[in-house]
A = this chain, B = another copy of it.
Amino acid sequence: MTSPPSPRSDPLQTRSLQKGQQTRAAILDAALGLASHTGLEGLSIGALADMMHMSKSGVFAHFGSREELQISVIRQYHARFEEEVFAPSMNDPRGLPRLRALFERWIKRVSMEIDSGCIYISGAVEFDDRPGPVRDALAEMVVTWHRALERAIAIAVDEGHLREDTEPEQMLFEIHGLILALHHDARFLRIPGAPERARAGFERIVGFYATAPAPPTTTRKTSKR
Chain A contact residues, CB within 8 Å of chain B: 37, 117, 121-122, 124-129, 139, 142-143, 150, 154, 165, 167-170, 173-174, 176-181, 184-185, 187-189, 194, 197-198, 200-201, 204-205, 207-208, 220-225
A225 touches B168 (CB 8 A): yes
B224 touches A142 (CB 8 A): no
Distance in angstroms between the alpha carbons of A149 and B126 in the assembled complex:
28
Distance in angstroms between the alpha carbons of A167 and B224 in the assembled complex:
6
A167 partner residues in chain B, CB cutoff 8 A: 220-224
A129 partner residues in chain B, CB cutoff 8 A: 37, 117, 187
A201-B225 contact given A125-B126, A189-B142, A208-B208, CB 8 Å threshold: no
A189 touches B139 (CB 8 A): yes
Closest to A165 in B: B222
Give the residue among A125, A177, A187 with the most B Cβ atoms within 10 A.
A177
| Closest-CB distance, A181 to chain B (whole angstroms) | 4
A220 touches B139 (CB 8 A): no
| Closest-CB distance, A167 to chain B (whole angstroms) | 6
A204 touches B208 (CB 8 A): yes
